[in-house]
Amino acid sequence: MRWPVVGLLTVGVVIAYIDRINLSTALPAVRQSLSLTAESAGVVLSAFFWFYAALQVPAGWVVDRFGVKWPYTAAFLFWSLVSASTALVATFTGLLAVRLLLGIGESIVTPASLRYIGLHFPEKQRGLALGIYFSGTKYGPAIGAPLAAYLVRDYGWQRMFLLTGAGCLLWLIPWVLLVQNDAGGNSSSKHSEASVPSFSWRVMASSPVMWGTFLATFCYMYFVYFCMTWMPTYFKDRHGLSLTNSGWYTFMSFGGMATIAIAGGFLADRLIARGWNAVKVRKTFIIVGFLLAFTEIIGAVADSAPATLFFAVFSLSGLGLATANYWALTQTLVPARALGRVAGIQNTAASLAGIAAPWITGWLVEQTGKFNAPLAAVGFWLVLGIGCYLFLVREKYALR
C-alpha cells in the first residue's frame, strides 16, 4: 500500500494548499470588503504561519511517537472546518484568528507525510515518492487559484471559503479506510528504526547540515510564498490582469513546478540507481533549480508584459528541479529515527519564510508603491540558498 498512501498524502496536501491559497486569490475582494491596507493584508497572509511554524517540531514528535494516521485524521477535520468558517468573518481581527487556527490544523501535514515516505521508501525510490508528494504542494496552488477565482467571481468570497473548506471532507473516507497506523512500523529504508541510535538536540543544533538545510529551505520557500501570496496582486497591479487571468498564470506557474518536481525526483532516482553518488546528484539538481528560479529577476526588470509573465512561469517551474531533491537530500543525511523531528525543523524554516515573504512584501509595496524591492529580496535569498548547499550541506557533515 505504499504508493496508494503516497497518492492519498498528495491529495491531502493539495487540499491543504487550496485552503491556504484561497485567501491570496480572493484578497482583492476581501481587502475591499474589510477595508484592509496592503500592510494589514500582508499581516493576514503571514498569520497562517505564526503557529504553524511554532508547531512543526512538536508535530514531528507527535508523529514519531503516535504514527501518522490518527493525528492526521484529527488535524484534517479541524482545519477543513476552520477554513469553511472563514465565510463568517466580518472583521480584520476575525480573519486573523481564522488564519491562525488554520495554521494550527495544518501543522501536522508535512512532518507526518515525510515520516511515512522516509520510513517506507529506499534511497533509489525516495526522490520519485517525494516528487509526487511535493507536486501536491504546487498542484494545490495551481488548482486552487483558478478555482477560487471563479468561485469568488460567481458566488462571492464568503461562499468560496465555505465550498472549498467543507467540500474536501470527503477525503477522510478513503484515508480512514485504507491507511494503517504506523507508530514505529517497518521501514524499507536502509536504516531501520531499531538499529539507528538516537541523537541529541545538541548534536543537531551544532550540525552544518542542519543549519545549511534550515537556511536553504527558508530561501527556497521565500520565493515560493512570494509567488503564492502576492503573485495575483502583482499581475493585477503591474499589468492590469483580471482576477481570473491572474489565477490562470498562477496555475501555469505552480502546475509547471509540480510537473518538474516529479520529473526531477524521478531522474535523480534513476541516476542514483545506476550507482551515482546520491548526495552529489541531489545537490546538482537543487542548485540548478535555484539558478533557474533566479531568472524571475529578468522578468522583474523587463518592460514587456509577455516577458514578465513568461519568466514568472519559467522561474517557478525551474525551481521544481530542487523540490523533491532538497527534501530527499535531508533524509539521506540524517538517521531514520529522527525523520519526524528533522522534517519539523526543516518545515519550520519553510514556515518562517511563509511569515516573512508576505509580510515583508506587503511592507515594501506600502513603502515604495512598486514590486521592484520585493523581487530584489527574492534574488538575494536565492543566491544565499545556493551558497548553503555549496558550503554547508555536505556529505562529510552527515548525521549518523
Query: Tens digit of pLDDT for each residue in 34-72?
Result: 988 877 887 888 888 889 888 988 998 888 888 889 999
CA dist 166 and 171 (Å) reads 11
**If pLDDT is split at 50, 70 and 90, which confidence band does 168 have?**
confident
CB 77 within 8 A of CB 173: no
pLDDT band at 329 (very low <50, low <70, confident <90, very high): very high
- What single DSSP character describes residue 167? G
Residue 186 predicted with pLDDT over 60: no
Domains and CATH numbers, the chain: 2-174+200-397 (1.20.1250.20)
DSSP annotation string for 297-341: HHHHH-S-HHHHHHHHHHHHHHHHHHHHHHHHHHHHHS-GGGHHH
Mean pLDDT of 97-108: 94
C-alpha cell at 81: 472546518
Supply angle C-alpha 200, 202, 204, rounded to 5: 80
Give the pLDDT confidence score for residue 275 in this predicted structure: 93
Residue 144: predicted pLDDT: 82
- Under the banding of pLDDT at 50, 70 and 90, the label for residue 183 is low
Q: Of all residues in the chain, what percent carry a pLDDT higher than 70? A: 93
Residue 195 has pLDDT above 60, yes or no: no
**223-227, 287-291, 308-312: range with lowest mean pLDDT:** 308-312
Cβ pair 166, 18 in contact under 8 A: no
42-46, 212-216, 313-317: which range is least confident on average? 42-46
Higher pLDDT, 102 or 205: 102
Output the pLDDT for position 200: 67
For the ranges 80-84, 196-200, 371-375, the lowest mean pLDDT is seen at 196-200
Asked if the model's pLDDT at residue 187 lies above 70, the reply is no
d(CA 233, CA 44): 15
Torsion of CA 180, 182, 185, 188, to 10 degrees: 80
Buried b (16+ CB within 10 A) or exposed e, 178-213: ebeebeeeebebebebeebeeeeeeebeebebbbbb
